[in-house]
């Protein structure tokens, strides 16, 4: 197959026996559930654009494993150019969906696990790398969506995994068999997990010998026995279930998705086990995955930012104030911040280097700088968008009010008449269009899409302190001190 279509992707999900729970109940037809479907549409866009000749260069790649043309989301980066195209692809998809398209975590996991398993085998003579390559070959051939799962619930943050009162708060091996392992625990905040065919699991922190059972990496299908998912609640999510709420939803077609993925004694055959106790490599896998994923934000969040800037400009135009110098300055500042984020994503890609395994890794310092800026700039972009949009963004009546035929006025005016009269902007712009762009901004800034833009910018791929720790480690202060000593004429010790 190599390249799946968007329609084939959606149909492939129907064939899975994925166990999904939402609002305390099991959802049998989760593919068509109004809250879940927008996130599926986002993933489907990664398949649709790969079929479009206009985007072929950045959406597809040549597999270093099979030599076939594959979706770039299943690719192992072979050069700095591949890393750059990854960022460009993510910006494009952000522009097309204004949301989270979810396949980035799997792609970043592939590249981290590929290089780490190579080095584990090099030290211990294990067979993890060959197993992983065979698994990835299947993923590429079938064009599968894979959830990259790293974050454990963690419990008491002051305690190591083996010290937790409840050992399941970090996913761990509970039984080792000749033919595989049995695992128990959970992965939290899992982006796109429900919309994935498979999951690839990684440890969440660097570990010591006592945490050996927690140093585990493996792959398993979404409908594996003992695996189930509890859908994460989002602000304004039930608007998607209301009738006649097309405008109120904001982003009508697309949305993000996170879930708690629970492993209730799931058996993993040896062929899908990529780490099982090699605790000294847990930190390497975490660091490499985090670096790739922090690079990703220099693409996806920038694409969404492009749409936010466009929506803010439209709101100003529909309000009749697009020529005001203050509005122009705000749009310039939003653009400046957004392009700075993109520059960071491109920079860490350009400075990438080859790993021992042969795939390319980003510059880890610059990737962490990229994500550190992501924790700040989207918040300012959103603030400026809200400033331009005005208070109506959060105080307007519902769509049903705008279409209501309930009579309220002395001259027979309906609720709909009144709303359309008093919430009009420019005479050449319909009230509905003005409401649509304001509801879209509400969705991105405050509602469901905020999970995939604003709040995820803070906590996705690690919270701000995680990047600062890595910047401190990789900043090479000692070398910088030597530079200063030489120029200042200070004798070097």
Tell me how far CA of residue 19 lies from CA of 118, 144, 193, 263, 370, in angstroms: 34, 18, 11, 12, 36
**Residue 446 exposed, middle or buried by CB count within 10 Å (0-12, 13-18, 19+):** middle
* 455 close to 109: Cβ distance less than 8 angstroms: no
- Known catalytic residue: 300? yes
Element (H, E) at 174: strand 172-177
Set 42, 100, 370, 419: catalytic member = 100
DSSP 188-229: EEEETSTT-SEEEE--SS---GGGGGG-EEEEEETT-TTEEE
The CB-side HSE value for 72 (13 A sphere, CA atoms) comes to 26
Set 191, 204, 355, 375: catalytic member = 191
- Known catalytic residue: 104? yes
Set 42, 300, 419, 445: catalytic member = 300
Element (H, E) at 69: strand 69-71
DSSP 168: G
* Cα diameter, the chain: 91
69 in a labelled binding site: no
- Known catalytic residue: 75? no
Set 114, 151, 258, 292: catalytic member = 258
Handedness of CA 279, 280, 283, 284 (dihedral sign): negative
The CB-side HSE value for 328 (13 A sphere, CA atoms) comes to 3
Q: Are strands 227-231 and 20-22 parallel, antiparallel or unpaired?
A: parallel
The size of the chain, in residues, is 493
Set 297, 342, 360, 453: catalytic member = 297
171-200: burial string, b at 16+ Cβ within 10 Å, e else: bbbeeeeeebbebbbbbbbbbbbbbbbbbb
Which residues have a Cβ under 8 Å from the Cβ of 345 and sit 6 or more positions away?
A: 87, 90, 295, 296, 297, 298, 299, 302, 370
DSSP 361-379: E--HHHHHHHHHHHTTHHH
Q: What is the CA radius of gyration of the chain?
A: 24
Tell me how far CA of residue 67 lies from CA of 62, 140, 206, 237, 402, in angstroms: 6, 11, 35, 43, 56
- Known catalytic residue: 100? yes
How crowded is residue 209: how many other Cβ atoms within 10 Å of its Cβ? 10
- Known catalytic residue: 42? no
Which tokens hold the place of 147? 């959830």
- Known catalytic residue: 258? yes
Element (H, E) at 109: helix 104-124
Which residues have a Cβ under 8 Å from the Cβ of 273 and sit 6 or more positions away?
A: 128, 131, 180, 181, 216, 217, 218
- Name the binding residues: 191
Q: Which residues are catalytic?
A: 100, 104, 191, 258, 293, 297, 300, 456
- Name the binding residues for FAD: 191
């Amino acid at each position: 197959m190599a390249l799946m279509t968007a329609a084939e992707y959606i149909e492939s999900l129907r064939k899975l026996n994925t166990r999904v729970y939402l609002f305390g109940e099991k959802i049998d037809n989760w593919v068509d559930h109004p809250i879940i479907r927008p996130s599926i549409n986002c993933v489907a866009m990664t398949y649709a654009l790969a079929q479009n000749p206009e985007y072929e260069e950045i959406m597809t790649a040549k597999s270093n494993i099979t030599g076939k043309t594959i979706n770039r989301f299943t690719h192992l980066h072979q050069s700095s150019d591949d890393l750059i195209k990854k960022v460009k692809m993510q910006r494009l998809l952000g522009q097309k969906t204004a949301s989270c398209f979810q396949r980035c975590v799997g792609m970043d996991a592939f590249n981290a696990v590929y290089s780490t398993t190579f080095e584990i085998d090099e030290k211990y003579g294990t067979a993890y790398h060959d197993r992983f390559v065979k698994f990835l070959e299947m993923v590429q051939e079938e064009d599968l969506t894979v959830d990259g799962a790293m974050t454990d619930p963690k419990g008491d943050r002051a305690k190591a995994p083996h010290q937790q009162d409840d050992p399941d708060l970090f996913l761990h091996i509970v039984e080792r068999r000749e033919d595989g392992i049995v695992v128990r625990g959970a992965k939290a905040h899992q982006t796109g997990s429900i919309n994935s065919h498979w999951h690839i699991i990684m440890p969440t922190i660097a570990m010591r010998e006592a945490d050996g059972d927690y140093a585990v990496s493996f792959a398993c299908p979404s409908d594996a026995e003992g695996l189930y998912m509890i859908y994460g609640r989002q602000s304004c999510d039930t608007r998607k279930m209301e009738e006649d709420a097309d405008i109120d939803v904001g982003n009508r077609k697309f949305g993000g998705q996170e879930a708690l993925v629970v492993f209730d004694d799931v058996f993993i055959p040896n062929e899908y086990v990529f780490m099982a106790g090699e605790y000294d490599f847990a930190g390497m896998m975490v660091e490499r995955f985090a670096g790739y994923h922090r690079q990703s934000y220099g693409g996806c969040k920038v694409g969404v930012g492009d749409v936010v800037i466009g929506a803010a400009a439209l709101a100003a135009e529909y309000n009749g104030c697009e020529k005001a110098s203050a509005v122009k300055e705000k749009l310039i500042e939003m653009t400046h911040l957004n392009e700075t984020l993109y520059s960071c994503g491109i920079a860490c890609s350009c400075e990438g280097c080859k790993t021992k395994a042969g795939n390319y890794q980003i510059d880890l310092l610059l990737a962490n700088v990229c994500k550190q800026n992501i924790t700040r700039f989207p918040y300012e972009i959103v603030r400026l968008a809200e400033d331009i949009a005005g208070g109506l963004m959060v105080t307007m009546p519902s769509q049903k009010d705008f279409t209501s035929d309930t009579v309220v006025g002395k001259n027979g005016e309906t609720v709909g008449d009144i709303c359309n009269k008093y919430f009009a902007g420019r005479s050449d712009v319909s009230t509905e269009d003005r409401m649509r762009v304001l509801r879209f901004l509400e969705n991105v800034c405050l509602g469901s899409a905020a999970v995939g833009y604003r709040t995820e910018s803070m906590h996705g791929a690690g919270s701000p302190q995680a990047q600062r720790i890595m910047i401190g480690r990789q900043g090479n202060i000692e070398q910088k001190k030597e530079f200063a000593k030489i120029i200042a004429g200070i004798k070097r010790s």
